[in-house]
Structure 1
């Protein structure tokens, strides 16, 4: 009991010391010394209790409250031991980080420092010779001739100490050898300085996640092998080595990134025999890795490790046969993906399968690489763990095997990254939605209504004099001025807006009116000459006979077919112009978009669109051209653009429409973005709007995409195809007379959400037109995914 009372305060005092922040390495070493002493004392105490308990006398002694206190003390000792282990590991990591930092600094700067020293030494020698010459010149009348001659010969003689040689040496250090084949950054100081300056001014681009994870593990693996080498000759160090290797791998494999598993059939669009075999191998590695992880799950700590179980696991991981050889699988991955250029084929296939993948071609390739590379890394960590544990258990040295494996891994990774970077540079980054299986208004598409709509009106009502002296073609912009004698005009809803482009089709006709709740006016119109406007079918409201007539046998009062531009409750023609910006204060970014009669953004965090502020166009203080844009015959053009940026440090965080002349034009809002942290950088200040300012009469002039005599967009059975290009524009117009009696406004709008799977930051956003020849087609949003290519870094040096 006295021993217990003595040890516990000492342990508590040690804990207090451990919780206080250290300031120098010397202090850390002192603390570690104390820790080791405490560990020895603790071990002694535990052994002493073991002796007492194993003594025959102990069985006859009843210690009051002994067992309960003993449990508490032992539990506390375990906690202290665990904290000691954590502190040792942290200290080892700090030391490794410091060594790595110093090594990196020396590697990057030692050549420059050496050359700067050479230049300084050479300049000092020349300066010393020059100062000596100045002294000789001052005393030239008193010096012996032989002294001056000796100085001159010493200065110009062809030896390593002559000024001529020193000047040549200075030139070579600065500019390198004149022989271009030997001129490299290792011999040319100016190039080295330029490279170093570029590195200082433009820090290296962060790696993509899986590459950074690989780099981290390679550093960990090197540190562990160095540790095993340094402790190889120590006595009674087996348990310590096991704990070191075990805990390091357990902590690394506990990272969230390492929990992702390879999903079977995720890349089935590749539909390639070689890929099917490779996928089988990747799944095998994933399942073996699950068994490997179970080792860490089932065993709470390294002390509880079952040696036989670990050796059996290592044997399964390192088995070398035709079916389950890990090195063979890794070589096969490179052969299929790199040598047989499956990455290139994946780029082509994914470009044609965007409807199925909902990923840009570049994103598909990036995802494919990330999954394969992560699976490779899992295989590599398992093999390294196995080599290390075999060494710790005394089954061999295995240092050379590990070095060869690392070298092969590095070479394969370098070749893969070179090809991947080239493929990703070529791959498209656009994502859009394909046609749904079934078009549903208000769900998959929407339409502008009653913008320009076919309308029958007699000439007598097209002028306020009620005359019939002109032809229908005379009335290109007019109004319905009355209803003469309550003829057919009294049996149809009047066009209260302007009438455009009137024309004569035939004198007499049968008109099939649309249902009263429809935005159409007519289902079809059949003329006596046999011409039918629209699709003739069953008329639920019954047809109405409409005939033209003669006035005084001189003027023919004809029924004209015009286009009605009417703003009414049945006319949906408004586009929101208010800013739609993600919640940048909470680090939200745009990852998708949709169209309706307004443009909506989607937040990466919420996975749903930020709602546009609701308002009524008739509300007070709500203005056309400021809050909304109203389509009309004169203002019905929309620009088709890809608004993107090549600056990878900015991503889309908002979107809006503006009006340029008579065109509705898209703008994207960009905010500065840190790829490494995934955080926006002071978005309140580091943000800006961007758009394509070209028009059809200025700049790089826009090209008009024309629609003529088009049918209703949803009547085609063929899937729509993208038909527009950047820097074009299109007019909202009426459908064809013969195909639809000009009752609909096209193009329709695709209102399906456009978000990549998985969502990623966006480098741009755009509007495009898709359709089929002879049909009205659709306007829809497209997104341009973030360019991951700069983050694919081919290592300049080995890991």
Structure 2
């Protein structure tokens, strides 16, 4: 039976995993079903009814009391085994939600009030466990527990007070799943899950502190709340049993009504979460860090298109000054006339493009080539215009244009240099795949730069039954360590090189078909664009086995040249270095868009920096989960160059959630009162 295998799987792995998500128990509703069945079977212990002793003491307990308390302890331990792990995830999720969702919004959606009710159930369960352990002597105490104490606790649990366990469960359900009453419809009361989604959408809240997608957050919260309610239910069921054991009544009808109400609530809640999850975003990406650190939080392309001063006499083979700067839209350096300023700076050994005239004479501050990839720190023209931030300087040169044979003015032009020498402008296009044959899947991704080449690095882990991942197996797969100069390494086979004419990158959300998970990723060239592909592999939900023979590559082949629904361009104009922004970037791109790598603003940065930067933060949901897709996106703050980063789409196991429980009706015969 699937549910029983889920329980066995959880118990066996309880001491292995330090963090689990819903996928670790397959279906939390199926787990609830198993526990309810166990509780129903416990009623057989109480036939016939016996009179409880005045004092509860382990050596004097009658057989039926011992058996009942043992059953209670066993069921509680089973629930705790799962709950301990789920609460690790849920507590972090709740804490981080408090940081990501504003206080007023949390009040409006009643999140804080709900969490307080959860805390009350946890507190009651803790007392219940202490009593059971004391009765069974598990705390090595010689203190005896009065029967009256346990009776009073049982009465509290099932009382009609709003602060009893029964009352708290009713209030929790009201928050999660409105009952559809006339009053509810009039006041448009929505359940918590729908309200959380609505709050995130309306407040533009980003889950920067939660390392999960909104979809995963809702799913894990749902998990935690189901386990909390299951604890409450078991306390109520066992309280009726204890009261019956102590001859306070039969409580057959009461327990049956309570059980039916509980199962009806669980059915309503699973329907509610399924509806909410349809609207929840499955994507997860990283917000900007508090502090940008090159090589850790970002990497960058260098010297792709860089501001460059060149006299027009050196940009044509005739060494003529008969044209103007605007004439030189695409040329190269042909010489260095009379060893003027050209001999005092790094020459451009590639293409020189997009030249313009700013002023004839200037002061040029060159950067230290040993410490920086910049050519210039700033340029101060005699007309008063300054490019860059005029600060300290490594080396200053006075640069003046001149007249040639009276008739021609040989002007210094401000151009862009496209020189691959000492430039980081390469993308790895080799396949990066998990070890599918050993049942490993991709669970995380990040950008790294190695030997001047941009790589997508994957984090892989062992896939387990019921769409779960073995936490202890998680590791980063090393990137291929090669350079473009290695023997046998070829452009177009191993790597792509960007240039003025080939510098576009596509933004796509690539998703696997239903029943598939991500097992690989790679870049490819589509015309002049860097384009993403993902590998997806089918799997068996129950066994957790991948079928590597049916893996497929998925991509978006659309281009900006298509006549119907072409890709659209995100334009970057006059943008500053992105790490200079004092506020966090926001998502800018959508699926099926692209942009051109370009240079930073001429006035602000002398066009010395290649933008956008590449976000190098790890994108790996916690706890680890299967991925149903991977994408590329662009984020920025207005007037800044922004970042390109990877995002992932978390797997949706909600279709496996069970929302009917016909087998429980068959288990009713275990309830002695029902015979």
Q: Shorter-chain TM-score: what band?
A: 0.7 to 0.9
Q: CA deviation at 1:543?
A: 2.6
User: Superposition RMSD on alpha carbons, in Å?
Assistant: 2.9
Q: Which moved more, 1:727-736 or 1:576-585?
A: 576-585
2:501 to 634, 648, 654: 634
Q: How does 1:147-546 map to 2 (within 5 A)?
A: 208-225=26-43, 227-228=44-45, 239=62, 241-255=64-78, 256-260=81-85, 261=87, 263=91, 266=95, 267-268=97-98, 269=101, 271-272=106-107, 274-294=110-130, 297=133, 299=136, 312-313=149-150, 315-319=152-156, 320=159, 322=161, 324-339=163-178, 340=189, 341-350=191-200, 352-516=205-369, 517-535=371-389, 537-546=390-399
Q: How does 1:727-738 map to 2 (within 5 A)?
A: 727-738=592-603
Q: CA deviation at 1:730?
A: 0.9
Distance 2:73 2:440 in 1: 34
Q: How does 1:605-624 map to 2 (within 5 A)?
A: 605=471, 606-624=473-491
Q: CA deviation at 1:313?
A: 3.4
Distance 1:271 1:338 in 2: 17
Instruction: Please identify which structure carries the higher helix content.
Output: 1
Distance 1:278 1:404 in 2: 24
Unaligned runs of 5+ in 2: 6-22, 51-60, 179-188, 449-453, 462-470, 665-675
User: What residue in structure 2 maps to residue 175 of structure 1?
Assistant: none
User: What residue in structure 1 maps to residue 15 of structure 2?
Assistant: none
Q: CA deviation at 1:459?
A: 1.3
With normalisation by structure 1, the TM-score equals: 0.69
Residue by residue over 1:434-483, the C-alpha shift from the partner in whole angstroms, topping out at 9 and shown as x without a partner, is 11112222221111000010111111111232222222222222221211
User: Does the residue aligned with 2:491 lie in a helix, a strand or coil?
Assistant: coil
Q: CA deviation at 1:272?
A: 1.8
- Which has more radius of gyration? 1
Residue by residue over 1:586-625, the C-alpha shift from the partner in whole angstroms, topping out at 9 and shown as x without a partner, is 4332222212321111224454432212112211111111
Distance 1:311 1:667 in 2: 67
Distance 1:491 1:388 in 2: 93
Cα–Cα, structure 1 residues 348 and 591, in superposed 2: closer, same or farther, change >3 Å?
farther
Q: CA deviation at 1:488?
A: 0.3
Structure having greater relative contact order (Cα 8 Å, sep ≥ 6)? 2
Distance 1:321 1:218 in 2: 22
Distance 1:581 1:400 in 2: 58
Residue by residue over 1:48-84, the C-alpha shift from the partner in whole angstroms, topping out at 9 and shown as x without a partner, is xxxxxxxxxxxxxxxxxxxxxxxxxxxxxxxxxxxxx
Q: CA deviation at 1:307?
A: 9.2
2:436 to 574, 578, 584: 584
Instruction: Please identify which structure carries the higher strand content.
Output: 2
Unaligned runs of 5+ in 1: 1-92, 95-204
Q: CA deviation at 1:394?
A: 3.8
On the 8 A contact 1:318/1:325 being kept in 2, the answer is no
User: Does the residue aligned with 2:420 lie in a helix, a strand or coil?
Assistant: coil
Distance 1:632 1:668 in 2: 25
Distance 1:480 1:469 in 2: 16
Aligned length: 587
With normalisation by structure 2, the TM-score equals: 0.81
On the 8 A contact 2:576/2:639 being kept in 1, the answer is yes
Residue by residue over 1:327-356, the C-alpha shift from the partner in whole angstroms, topping out at 9 and shown as x without a partner, is 110111012222342222212334513112
Distance 1:310 1:540 in 2: 85
Q: CA deviation at 1:305?
A: 13
Distance 1:674 1:251 in 2: 31
